[in-house]
Amino acid sequence: MTTQKNAPALFDRALIVPAIRDAFIKLDPRTLARNPVIFITALVSLLATVLFVHDIFGSGQNLLFSAQVIIWLWFTVLFANFAEAIAEGRGKAQAASLRKTQTQTIAKVLVSPGSDSTRNVPASQLKVGDVVLVRTGDLIPGDGEIIEGVATVDESAITGESAPVIRESGGDRSAVTGGTRVLSDVIKVRITAAAGSSFLDRMISLVEGASRKKTPNEIALNILLAGMSLIFVFATASIPSFATYAGGSISVIVLVALFVTLIPTTIGALLSAIGIAGMNRLVRFNVLAMSGRAVEAAGDVDVLLLDKTGTITLGNRQAAEFAVMPGVTEAELADAAQLSSLSDETPEGRSVVVLAKEKYGLRGRDLASLNARFIPFTAQTRMSGVDIDGRVIRKGAIDSITEYVQRIGGQHAVPKELKEIADRIARAGGTPLAVAEGDRVLGVIYLKDIVKGGIRERFAELRRMGIKTVMITGDNPLTAAAIAAEAGVDDFLAQAKPEDKLALIRKEQAEGKLVAMCGDGTNDAPALAQADVGVAMQTGTQAAREAGNMVDLDSDPTKLIEVVGIGKQLLMTRGALTTFSIANDVAKYFAIIPAMFAAIYPQLNSLNLMHLATPQSAILSAIIFNALIIIALIPLALRGVKYRPVGAGPLLARNLLVYGVGGLVAPFIGIKLIDLAISAIGLV
């Protein structure tokens, strides 16, 4: 169902070179200041560098060692910048392909709404409320709403879907997107987004990370990391006094090395890359989020409201059976049903014709030659049908046909079997459609809702994630219950009106739950706005698209499930790397503390569990490990920790084992290996 665009390779040459350049550009203090942990790292690196320069001209000792530590300190900062740059670079690559479509177009703005005379205005100067004329072959100059006309539009630029779509004024398919091309006909479009804030613009700035705001959880995590860093400020700043007490001294460079290895640089460095990558993953799924906050909220969703039609069931109900009244043959009913449906272009109507042909070999007949008059469905009669050769055939909902037949045939014209059969069909999840000829009820067409294949498994998956699914349908409760059971949703809302949807969301929210829903129509807009995560369909109205905080370009309502997964993955990746980062500190202490006090308390070498060669090699190994681990974890940050739809307990146990225990053990091995390497080369 989902059309996932190919992700660029993790380390594409074309991405790496500019990312390296950007890593240096990002040394700008204003950029660094956005990330507290890395900012502190840069600050102490600068301090160490200044002292080093001072030492060169003074009576500096161990200059080679100091120089190496300082180089790795700066690498730590650069690697962090690189991680962010590469995530942004991947986004930019995505954005570039989007931008190709955003060529400068000239819009034909109507001079006055009534007239057809236009003046040419560059698309970049369009204002909200301008009405533009778009002809066959023109690019639509900006996001807007069709106020007049019907057109086929090629939206492949944003959806990747090559088949053109129909857009028309009024109704639920009136929104058009800037950068898409009109293939036929002429439309008048009222511009709804100013230049620079159109859909495409927003999409580009989102994937590039330019308009990225920190999400609530990211802010909280940043505070935690800053707090941890402060703890390590106290831990390291108190060491010189302790050393003085013990009758020795510790060089600043060693203190700086200890401090930088202790503060959570790993997660600090990768935090923004994780956020940008999450957004990119979403865009690759063809979902456009208006903010990172919405993506994060998706991970927290407790309740998912899904429209039945098109999401849980195939959009169209299909005729599955002709159920006859006493004294009527099936062929007779099939004949009448087919005749009444020949001009009915709805999918349901066509399926009746198909069933009649398959089961009774009734071929299509030319209504015109039969001198028939087709009666279309109206909201007043709630029936459709045909008058042909004096036969008056009507089909419609049970109660409308009952009322119709009783009106012309009297109270007892309707056989009691009608209600029985109708109830049986409804209980099975179908929709009964009665057929009558004159005052005689012939029988019932069983319109069956077809539940999408595989949807049941997906709902089971959601249940394991702890998400409740609620099906929204206009059907009566009986039908709704049957389909709900077949599809495996947790709950349903039957005979739902748009305001019921809103009320349900409010009720769930009042219980403290986060609600996600998707919708397309204008009457969905209030509910989309109320929901914590509202995914609007690209095919929907502008009102719906404005109200939601995400837009699905594929208009696939089941995409919500992917969105939830991406939101969870985002949080998990942050948590996993934070745990890893903090757990790493244990090994770093065991590397640096004995080395630091080697001159004062040689006994502490018992804590040198890794048997690192010399105090200097120990310190250098720790700082090198600390820098390299950032690079090593970039792929994980970009890809995200794999999310498995299991309960929270097993999920946490697994992640704690991998990232907690792994984080304890990995640096012991890594630092030892680096120590072996640098001792072998003889760097210190």
Partner 1 sequence: MTINGWIQILIYFALLTALTRPVGGYLYRVFNGERILLSRPLGWLERGFYRCAGVDSQTEQSWISYTLAMLAFNLVCFVALFLLLLAQGHLPFNPQGFGALTPDLAFNTAISFVTNTNWQSYGGETTMSYGTQMLGLTVHNFVSAATGIGLALALVRGFARRSASTIGNFWVDLTRATLYVLLPISIVAALFLIWQGMPQNLSAYTNALTLEGVKQTIAQGPVASQVAIKMLGTNGGGFFNANAAHPFENPTALSNFLQILLIFLIPAGLTNTFGRMVKSELQGWALYSAMSVLFLVGVATCYWAESQGNPQLTTMGISQPIGNMEGKETRFGVANSTLFATITTDASCGAVNAMHDSFTPLGGLVPMVNMMLGEVIFGGVGAGLYGILLYALIAVFIAGLMVGRTPEYLGKKIEAREIKLTMLAILCLPLSILGFTAVSSVLSQGLAGLANTGPHGFSEMLYAYTSATANNGSAFAGLTANTPFYNVTLGIAMLIGRFAFIVPMMATAGALAAKKYTPPSAGTFPTTGGLFIALLVGVIVIVGGLTFFPAIALGPIVEHLAILTGKAY
Binding-site members for ATP are 344, 348, 377-384, 395
Q: Name which of 322 and 643 has its Cβ closer to partner 1.
A: 643
CA–CA dist 566, 193 (Å, integer): 28
The nearest distance, CB 623 to partner 1, in angstroms, is 17
The nearest distance, CB 2 to partner 1, in angstroms, is 19
Beta bridge partners, 306, equal: 471
The nearest distance, CB 644 to partner 1, in angstroms, is 10
Q: How do 533-537 and 550-552 pair as beta strands?
A: parallel
**Binding of partner 1 by 609 (CB under 8 A):** no
Q: How many CB atoms lie within 10 A of CB 659?
A: 24
CA–CA dist 32, 20 (Å, integer): 16
| Amino acid identity, position 326 | P
Residue 144: C-alpha distances to residues 174, 191, 245, 529, 537 (Å):
8, 4, 74, 19, 15
In the region spanning residues 582 to 601, those forming contacts with partner 1, defined by CB under 8 A, are 582-583, 585-586, 589, 593, 597, 601
The nearest distance, CB 477 to partner 1, in angstroms, is 25
In the region spanning residues 77 to 106, those forming contacts with partner 1, defined by CB under 8 A, are none
The interface region with partner 1, picked from 403-411, 534-542, 581-589, 625-633 by CB under 8 A, is: 581-589
Which one of 46, 397, 598, 607 is in contact with partner 1 (CB under 8 A)?
A: 607
**Binding of partner 1 by 611 (CB under 8 A):** no
Which one of 43, 478, 613, 652 is in contact with partner 1 (CB under 8 A)?
A: 652
Query: What binding mask, one character per residue, do residues 444-463 give for partner 1 by CB under 8 A, x or -?
Result: -------------------x
Q: How do 515-519 and 491-493 pair as beta strands?
A: unpaired
The nearest distance, CB 202 to partner 1, in angstroms, is 25
Map tokens 């709704």 to a residue: 480
CB 533 within 8 A of CB 553: no
The interface region with partner 1, picked from 39-47, 95-103, 540-548, 649-657 by CB under 8 A, is: 649-657
Residues belonging to the chain: 684
- Distance from chain centroid for Cα 219: 20
Binding-site members for Mg(2+) are 520, 524
Q: What are 188's two structure tokens?
A: 């008048």
**Binding of partner 1 by 241 (CB under 8 A):** yes
SS (H, E, C) 604-656: HHHHCCCCCCCHHHHHHHHHHHHHHHHHHHHHHHHHCCCCCCCCHHHHHHHHH
The secondary element (H helix, E strand) that includes residue 338 is helix 330-341
CB 395 within 8 A of CB 401: yes
Angle at 675 (CA atoms; ends 672, 678), nearest 5 degrees: 155
- Distance from chain centroid for Cα 416: 51
Q: How do 175-176 and 187-191 pair as beta strands?
A: unpaired
Which one of 171, 364, 376, 466 is in contact with partner 1 (CB under 8 A)?
A: 466
Map tokens 């037949």 to a residue: 405
**Binding of partner 1 by 264 (CB under 8 A):** no
Binding-site members are 344, 348, 377-384, 395, 520, 524
**By C-alpha distance, which of 278, 314, 308 is closest to 293?**
278
| Amino acid identity, position 646 | V
Which one of 304, 306, 560, 651 is in contact with partner 1 (CB under 8 A)?
A: 651
The interface region with partner 1, picked from 15-23, 224-232, 278-286, 436-444 by CB under 8 A, is: 224-232
**By C-alpha distance, which of 437, 419, 446 is closest to 348?**
446
CA–CA dist 458, 507 (Å, integer): 25
Which one of 261, 555, 578, 617 is in contact with partner 1 (CB under 8 A)?
A: 578
The interface region with partner 1, picked from 334-342, 446-454, 496-504, 654-662 by CB under 8 A, is: 654-662
**Binding of partner 1 by 252 (CB under 8 A):** no
Q: What is the DSSP letter of 329?
A: -
Q: How many CB atoms lie within 10 A of CB 227?
A: 10
**Binding of partner 1 by 57 (CB under 8 A):** no
The nearest distance, CB 224 to partner 1, in angstroms, is 5
Angle 265-284/559-596 helices, nearest 10 degrees? 160
The interface region with partner 1, picked from 338-346, 363-371, 491-499, 642-650 by CB under 8 A, is: 642-650
Which one of 170, 171, 216, 347 is in contact with partner 1 (CB under 8 A)?
A: 216
Which among 22, 138, 143, 307 is annotated as catalytic?
307
Which one of 653, 669, 673, 677 is in contact with partner 1 (CB under 8 A)?
A: 653
CA–CA dist 639, 301 (Å, integer): 22
Q: What are phi and psi of 164, to 5 degrees?
A: -65, 155
CA–CA dist 358, 238 (Å, integer): 88
In the region spanning residues 284 to 303, those forming contacts with partner 1, defined by CB under 8 A, are 296, 299-300, 302
**Binding of partner 1 by 441 (CB under 8 A):** no
Which one of 61, 238, 329, 495 is in contact with partner 1 (CB under 8 A)?
A: 238
389 catalytically annotated = no
**Binding of partner 1 by 17 (CB under 8 A):** no
Which SS3 state, helix, strand or coil, does residue 460 take? helix
Q: Name which of 290 and 656 has its Cβ closer to partner 1.
A: 656
Which one of 109, 221, 482, 496 is in contact with partner 1 (CB under 8 A)?
A: 221
In the region spanning residues 538 to 577, those forming contacts with partner 1, defined by CB under 8 A, are 567-569, 571-572, 574-576
The interface region with partner 1, picked from 77-85, 112-120, 213-221, 497-505 by CB under 8 A, is: 213-221
The interface region with partner 1, picked from 121-129, 347-355, 481-489, 508-516 by CB under 8 A, is: 508-516
The nearest distance, CB 443 to partner 1, in angstroms, is 46
In the region spanning residues 298 to 327, those forming contacts with partner 1, defined by CB under 8 A, are 299-300, 302
Query: What binding mask, one character per residue, do residues 467-506 give for partner 1 by CB under 8 A, x or -?
Result: xx--------------------------------------
**Binding of partner 1 by 666 (CB under 8 A):** no
Is residue 192 packed enough to be buried (19+ CB in 10 Å), middle (13-18) or exposed (0-12)?
Answer: buried
Q: Which residues are catalytic?
A: 307
